[in-house]
Amino acid sequence: MQPFLPFRCDLDTFSDELQTIIEQNTKEIEKLLAIKQKTYANFVKPFEELEEKLNLFVTPLSHLNSVNNSEKTQEVYAEALPVITEYSTRLSQNIKIYNAYKEILANEQDSLNYEQKRVLELNIQHFELSGAHLDDATKTRLQEINLRKSELANDFSQNLLDATNAYEKIIEDKADIKGLPQSEIEQAKFEEDGKTKYKFTLQIPSYIAYMTYGPNREIREELYKAYTTRAPQNAAIIDELLELRDESAKLLGFNNYAEFSLATKMAPTTDKVLKFLNSLLDNATTQAKEELNELQKIAPHPLESYDTAYYSEILKKQTHEIDEEEYRPYFEQKSVVSGMMQFLHNIFGIEFKVVDIDLWDAKAYAYDLFIDGKLRSRLYLDLEARESKRGGAWMHDWQSHYVDHYGNTHLASAFVVCNFPPSKDDNPSLLRHDDVVTLFHEMGHAIHHLLSEVSESEVSGVHGVEWDAVEYPSQFLENFAYEPEVLKIFAKHYKTGEILPDAMIQKLIDAKNFLSAMAMLRQLEFSLFDFMLHLKPQKGDGVQKLLDSIREKTSLIKPPSYNKFQNGFAHIFAGGYAAGYYSYKWAEVLSADTFYAVVDDGLNSSQTAKRYRGIILRSGGAKSMQDLYIELMGKEADVKQLLRLNGIND
């Protein structure tokens, strides 16, 4: 068994080391291509390991650029990006490699196992989607497009981070913070010129705090406007990205980028995706209008976009007698992490043991995962917000479980990153319940990668999983953050040790689907905008006009004209969700169905949970998720369970 790699990224030598690895890989690939009788063992396996070697080296840099962003990481990452993109594009268009894969699949069809066949089939598809079979001029153009797209995505993300960090709102009048939770006031408070002042930023914990509790409507609008007008230069990036995506899709024989995107997903056609999204829209709209009417009743003026979080919190307290701030002392960050791990031990048999190693930040830490006393993988956690970290929450895989051509087993590792309220010596990190749900969500992604037992790295863990199924394990796990049995493991008052009372747990459950139809419409707005934008790309004002036309159905409150949400839509313009944001809802159907099966079994004795670990988590991307799901559940997924989970009548 191979040891875990130490986390290392020397920014001063990275570029030279990267160049050396790429040169070495290129020479090794030439040697592999020179083999006359190519087989899976002598060609595919060593080729796969060369790719893994490069990924292991590059991942720490991309991770650092996200969690400890600096001028130096930006410079090194920007320098490395075209080198990596050029190399990967060159390989993905190499007709000799493509032909080798096809020949090996044909020649060894009867002797290959299902994991090996899946590797070959996915690689052949990848080569075809990269244009390996096309003429040289087309391949050159595709290479240029890929390089430019990677640069634009990086610029989009960096612009957003810079704009987020550039803004701050200083409040001096105590009346303007009245009603904010004390923990949020402490986070915002600072002394200047002998005065106590309060700073709010566009970083998510700070922004959400004022939008939810801030009593001054003018300040809420100021913050909202700053947030929704961030990075206006990204509008030009969007135009260019859409044009390049459309061009590349057509060069590869697709009618549009949405069709290209679906080639690697579960959803069969663009019509099927639109029908799915619109059916959810039809089911949710009536209830969403009713929810908005209830919200409007308690507001002394017509509601605007910057009012909804504030009045939603008031209505939530009135209808469910629930106050998020009352819960936060029960959700101290370390207690939540520890309790979540206890739950994962109860349901899946995973043991977590702290690892004492130096990492990129003093508040980052690591665990080794064991099952039945056997070391399985390593998890890195970095959970608190800071200026050098990009917003949001994510799981990023690093090492993969696989068996190399010498027979050595390599173990998986992954990062879970969040932006929870920062802890201080005199003020622990107290989470909202939404934060708890987020942590469970990202942990669902992590164990999907970390518990894989697949021998081939390219289909191990999250690799090879259809994009519209990749959210299935994360959404499945997040549902348990509302289960009383689970909450009682970790929801303990950080001062008194009191377990969250049953009455408060019931309120949390009752409030779970508070304004859920309105939230459903918001997600459908994102999904429809993304998908339709890639069905027929727009430019300039056309992007906004498309969004506005979708909002006619999805936005019950018309956003102000200055709202340029698209300029911050990093999921599709700087992440991997282009023409795939619908995947959240698609996968949620799978997760809801599975969740109810486990709950019906009984959490601590669920045979479905055991089979889920043995089928879904163990198999990674070695089989289509459609096949794995039917193997687990014995049937197709039922969309009614998703509506049930969200408290929406079908």
The catalytic site residues sit at 442
Pairing, β 412-420 against β 374-384: parallel
Element (H, E) at 374: strand 374-384
Pairing, β 350-355 against β 365-371: antiparallel
Q: What angle do CA 8, 14, 18 make, to 5 degrees?
A: 110
**111/113 Cα distance (integer angstroms):** 7
The DSSP letter of residue 613 is I
CA 36 to chain centre: 43
- Cβ pair 213, 328 in contact under 8 A: no
- Cβ pair 590, 469 in contact under 8 A: yes
Non-local CB neighbours of 172 within 8 Å, separated by 6+ positions: 195, 197, 198
**356/105 Cα distance (integer angstroms):** 45
**115/130 Cα distance (integer angstroms):** 22
**247/600 Cα distance (integer angstroms):** 49
482-516: b or e for each residue (b if 16 or more CB lie within 10 Å)? Answer: bbeebbebbbbebeeeebbeeebbebbeebbbbbb
Comparing CA positions, the residue from 530, 635, 583 lying closest to residue 265 is 583
Rg (CA), the chain: 25
Q: Note every long-range contact of 124-130, with CB atoms under 8 Å and residues 24 or more positions apart, other chains counting.
A: 124/98, 125/263, 125/264, 126/92, 127/92, 127/93, 127/94, 127/97, 127/98, 127/101, 128/98, 128/252, 129/252, 129/260, 129/263, 129/264, 130/89, 130/92, 130/93
**480/85 Cα distance (integer angstroms):** 39
What are the C-alpha distances in Å from 187 to residues 347, 388, 430? Answer: 36, 17, 11
Show the tokens assigned to 197. 């002042």
- Cβ pair 602, 265 in contact under 8 A: no
**3-state DSSP of 211-229:** HHHCCCHHHHHHHHHHHHC
Residue 311: strand, helix, or coil? helix
- Cβ pair 423, 410 in contact under 8 A: no
Show the tokens assigned to 403. 């068996």
**What are the phi and psi torsion angles at 420 (to 5°)?**
-80, 165
Residues recorded for the chain:
650
**3-state DSSP of 470-527:** CCHHHHHHHHHHHCHHHHHHHCECCCCCCECCHHHHHHHHHCCCCCHHHHHHHHHHHH
**408/419 Cα distance (integer angstroms):** 37
